[in-house]
Amino acid sequence: MKVTVLMENSAPDGLIGEHGLSFYIEYGGGHYLLDAGECGAVLYNAGKLGVDLAGVEKAALSHGHYDHADGFNAFFAVNRTAPVYARPRITDPEYWEEKEYIGVNPGMLCRHEKRFDLAEGPRDLAPGLHLIPDRVKHEQSLVAETSRGLVVFNSCCHAGVVKILTQLKEQFPPKTIRAVLGGFHLMGKGGVTTLGPAPEKVRAIAAALRDGLEVGAVYTGHCTGGPAYAILKEELGDRLHPLTTGALYEFED
């Protein structure tokens, strides 16, 4: 199993970063896309990284926010067949503090309505590759089974990463959680340079991931924010890895 980060807030020279996420996943001989960032920059990065988006067989949308969904408009221009699996409530309007609209671009949904498969899960993209809804009405995790445990993707973890992983361990006994990849929504109202919860809360999350859930590796960025990442690093050490545009991760099936 290989995972290429096509889009994240940060990027090395030669690639484009934007506030969003997109993962290209090679699993069991198939090619999948989870999220597409907020605009067409995902196409540029894919080209630079040697990723053929036209060959993606199935795609999924983690939740109904623009910075994960609106890049599909560009994806559809190069991929004419892959369906995008999402929960039905992604069409509900979403606002940040009742002021700024942060939902999916309704025009994009209207233009490409037939490309979206909106049904309530759980659903399988392939044998061993599952979409699992969580407690947030429009959010879902992508879970890959490997010989050494589960690899879990949840792009923003609005329901809370500990709650999400606890639910998944109950659904996939006796599987261990080999790795989790995504944002943990720990940034403050001022953006990714600020901290949302109290530092003690972030340390408690780290302890739950390390000791309670025994997660093997944590790959995070995007809405986690820099201050929270620094605290997680203090607690998790070498288990913690930064998500960044262009990163490649491999997990033995």
243, 245, 251, 253: CA torsion to nearest 10: 130
Tell me the Cα Rg of the chain: 17
The confidence score (pLDDT) of residue 95 equals 87
The confidence score (pLDDT) of residue 132 equals 98
The confidence score (pLDDT) of residue 194 equals 96
The confidence score (pLDDT) of residue 32 equals 98
DSSP string, 144-162: EEETTEEEEE-SS-TT-HH
Q: Are 245 and 51 in contact (CB under 8 A)?
A: no
Count the Cβ atoms, other than its own, within 10 Å of residue 60. 26
Q: What are the C-alpha distances in Å from 114 to residues 86, 117, 128, 167, 184?
A: 12, 8, 26, 31, 31
Residue type, 112: H
118 forms beta bridges with: 86
Q: Are 43 and 78 in contact (CB under 8 A)?
A: yes
How far is the C-alpha of 224 from the C-alpha of 238, rounded, in Å?
17
The confidence score (pLDDT) of residue 184 equals 97
| Positions of E strands within the chain | 2-7, 22-27, 30-34, 58-60, 84-86, 95-96, 100-101, 116-118, 123-126, 129-133, 140-146, 149-153, 177-182, 187-188, 191-195, 217-220, 240-242, 248-250
Written as tens digits, the pLDDT of the chain (253 aa) is 999 999 999 999 999 999 999 999 999 999 999 999 998 899 999 999 999 999 999 999 999 999 999 999 999 999 999 999 999 999 988 888 668 899 999 999 999 999 999 999 899 999 999 999 999 999 999 999 999 999 999 999 999 999 999 999 999 999 999 999 999 999 999 999 999 999 999 999 999 999 999 999 999 999 999 999 999 999 999 999 999 999 999 998 7
Q: Are 198 and 227 in contact (CB under 8 A)?
A: no
The confidence score (pLDDT) of residue 99 equals 82
